[in-house]
Amino acid sequence: MPVLGLSMPLFFIQVYFLNFATDVLLMAPGVVGMMFAGGRIWDAVTDPAVGYLSDRTQTRLGRRRPWMLAAIPLIMAAFAMLWIPPRGLTGAALGTWIGVALLGFYTAYTCYSIPHGSLGAELSRDHHDRTRIFGLRHVTVTLGVIGAFLALQLVQNADEPRDAARLVVYIVLPVAALVLALPPLLLRERPEHQGRGATDPRRAIGDVWRNPHARILLTVLFIEALGGAVLGVLAPFLAKYVLQRPDAVALIPAFYVFASVGSVPFWVRVSRRYGKPRTWLVGMLGTGIGFGATVFVGVGDVVLISALLLFAGTFAGAGGAMAQSVVADIIDVDEHRTGERKEGAYSAAAGFTFKAAAGCTVALTGFALQASGFEPNQQQTGSALWTLKLLFAGGPFLGNLIGAFIFRRFRLDAAEHARIRAELDARHLAQESDR
């Protein structure tokens, strides 16, 4: 449930704020892109710091839940600041306000999402149970994405977008606060993991990168997310300027989202038979092909782009179910080597990778649009239209194909994980008997 409270605000910002800032707040796209890039640099510090500190936290509430509780009011305040800036602010003052709000939101998001993801990795030690857990998490994330696109549709097509954005904030804040409070108030943590985090933050980061499985995974996650983020960032631009159907801005990605959710049970079953690595590999290839074909869409081609995104979303469900499940398996490999439990460090690495890729996509999109001669709320030049289409189709196509090429070297399958898990369990039993 709390993933709804995280994903809806996050993706509403990811998919629409660049367009809102340019077309409604009348900020330069390059400036907004720089702000998102700055946020990613800040994430480079906060993600591993929060991961390390939550691994080391020891309270009666556990390692993760105090961080989650503290983050809730900060997420709410920063989200409201972004979408309801004072009407009198312009120029540098508006830029400062938005910059502070973005920085605050991503910091608070990190303080909640990293401990929450870490807690999820601790729920089960079974190789395939983890796929079911994180497959369901992917479904819930996607429901939040649907909410973000519905909000986008409301605001973008409103006569007064600022007033519509204010309404969205007033609806989202109480619901998000309620669902975000559920796990820190109701869940319990494994007591045997208390005090077993890394003793040195630099060594924790080094252990993540020294893990060969983690290096491949993080590289693939970054490349794949770098391309995949264009769906959210460019969907409003594509609907408005390429398809010339702004009324379809929520409908188009809905096909991708529903296909991604609906295919999760299928991919979970496939992974039991063929393994997580091969299943995810097939998913990357299919997703890249589906996105790549969208380069052929033009004015009014709503049916064509919907069909292509339905195809891409079906294959994307594989990665949605596999990625975090694979991270949980890699954490066991790290414990086998170091004797420490670093869910926070690994969740931070995966979270930073995703946010860094998304931020880079926003920044590159802003610069590319400005260089192509993009003018908000105007008929676009051929150069600007082709820039939009190439970014939307080419980013995911290349990202998924390169990711699949790298991921073919990944070797942590069910048999290898079972061997490591058996040795860890034997080690824990020996330690218990010594006590």
Q: Which of 91, 127, 39, 95 is nearest to 363 (CA)?
A: 39
Please check whether residue 51 is in contact with residue 118, taking contact to mean a CB–CB distance below 8 angstroms.
yes
Say which CATH architecture domain 2-187+199-434 belongs to: Up-down Bundle (1.20)
What is the pLDDT at residue 191? Answer: 66
What is the pLDDT at residue 337? Answer: 86
C-alpha 355/C-alpha 433 separation (Å) is: 43
C-alpha 33/C-alpha 365 separation (Å) is: 7
CB atoms within 10 A of CB 371: 13
What is the pLDDT at residue 195? Answer: 55
What is the pLDDT at residue 207? Answer: 83
C-alpha 224/C-alpha 30 separation (Å) is: 24
Q: Which of 329, 345, 187, 316 is nearest to 258 (CA)?
A: 316
- Token pair in block for residue 94: 């508006």
Intra-chain end-to-end CA distance of the chain, in Å: 39
Please check whether residue 346 is in contact with residue 340, taking contact to mean a CB–CB distance below 8 angstroms.
no
What is the pLDDT at residue 108? Answer: 92
Domain boundaries, the chain: 2-187+199-434
What is the pLDDT at residue 159? Answer: 86
pTM for the whole thing?
A: 0.70
Which parts of the chain register pLDDT below 50? none
Q: What is the sign of the dihedral through the CA atoms of 71, 73, 75 and 77?
A: negative
What is the pLDDT at residue 199? Answer: 62
Q: Which of 252, 100, 81 is nearest to 165 (CA)?
A: 81
Q: Which of 21, 64, 82 is nearest to 369 (CA)?
A: 21
Which distant-in-sequence residues (6+ apart) come within 8 Å of 415 by Cβ? none
What is the pLDDT at residue 328? Answer: 83
What is the pLDDT at residue 152? Answer: 82
What is the pLDDT at residue 434? Answer: 66
Which distant-in-sequence residues (6+ apart) come within 8 Å of 29 by Cβ? 18, 21, 22, 365, 366, 367, 369, 370, 374
Q: Maximum Cα–Cα distance for the chain, whole Å?
A: 75
Please check whether residue 117 is in contact with residue 347, taking contact to mean a CB–CB distance below 8 angstroms.
yes
